[in-house]
Amino acid sequence: MIKVGIVGGTGYTGVELLRLLALHPEVTLKSITSRSEMGRPVAEVFPSLRRLVDLEFSEPDLAELTRCDLVFFATPNGTAMKMARELLEIGVKVIDLAADFRLKDAQEWEHWYGEPHQCPDLLLEAVYGLPEMHRELIRSAQVLANPGCYPTATILGFLPLIEKDLVDSTRLIVDAKSGVSGAGRGAKVANLLCETSESFKAYAVPGHRHQPEIRQALVAVSGLPVGLTFVPHLVPMIRGIHATLYAEIKDKTLTQDALYQLYKDRYLEEPFVDVLEPGAHPETRSVKGSNVCRIAVHKPQNQDVVVVLSVIDNLVKGAAGQAVQNMNLMFGFDETAGLDIAPLSP
């Protein structure tokens, strides 16, 4: 058993972590922090966790967190980097669900996140926690950057094509949609039910923070330049990401069946990637509440463009579930421990 702390336990990713860890066979929850809810029982704030979590929210206390084997940061960007070094120095492992350690270049991080990085040396040490890419590195990681939700769906969708250099990597297009929970639990007028219901919009077209994260991961795989057009959209649902990915095939003779076999072979041993049969169209509701990414690959009209459909639950495989998957690898547990969860239906 390992002792686990969570910094920032009141956001959507924080409560999702609590839900998954409360029944994990190898975890004891020791500390859950929240300045806004300090002193309140977790089950009072989140009645869904009654009889599962009997802790109270506490103020972030480094002395208390150092008694843990692992600390998750389910906090806004810029928080984990201020505490990570002290935890790492005494042997506490860190998984950050925000963006503090995702980019390797400190100047690029500052450009996208608007402040200097507090520990740029740790950017090079941090492991990017996409198990389907970096499983062996994750096993020995001390500080882990949990991928963003859009990047998870996008990278898994493009990965087999980029690894085999089958498409023009300078002209990749990502058309991605997210449910409203991706914007967080904070009260914002733009995220109210009356503002989002029966509406659909793109946002951050000039540039989104997840764009350099996606590009960095794909460049690391191919070693080639990556040109990426990334357009996110907000859709009136609570959970889910649907990424529609477009790329131009280099070998025009590559068939639909060959593309399917490529994906099937690449993810055959992956417990949380499900490649659907040719002609399938995955739905976000088919992964709701689960750590599964479902993928379908198409070659419309047998022309020279491949279309990949990739769906995840943004709060699970796109956040807390992937973080638990990474924890399992870091501590030598069964990779699927605590994550063998059937998707919710309806």
- So which residues are the catalytic ones? 149
Strands, E, within the chain: which ranges? 2-7, 27-33, 70-73, 93-96, 127-128, 143-145, 172-178, 201-202, 228-234, 241-248, 273-275, 293-298, 305-312
Token pair of 203 as six digits: 């946002």
Cα–Cα distance between 10 and 26 in angstroms, integer?
A: 23
**DSSP letter string over 10-29?**
SSHHHHHHHHHHHT-TTEEE
Token pair of 207 as six digits: 């540039």
Q: How far is CA 316 from CA 216, 290, 305, in A?
A: 22, 6, 30
Taking each helix axis from N to C end, the angle separating 321-330 and 131-139, rounded to the nearest 10 degrees, works out to 40
Cα–Cα distance between 181 and 236 in angstroms, integer?
A: 10
Taking each helix axis from N to C end, the angle separating 149-163 and 256-266, rounded to the nearest 10 degrees, works out to 110
Instruction: Name the nearest CA neighbour of 290 among 236, 336, 237.
Output: 336
Cα–Cα distance between 316 and 240 in angstroms, integer?
A: 9
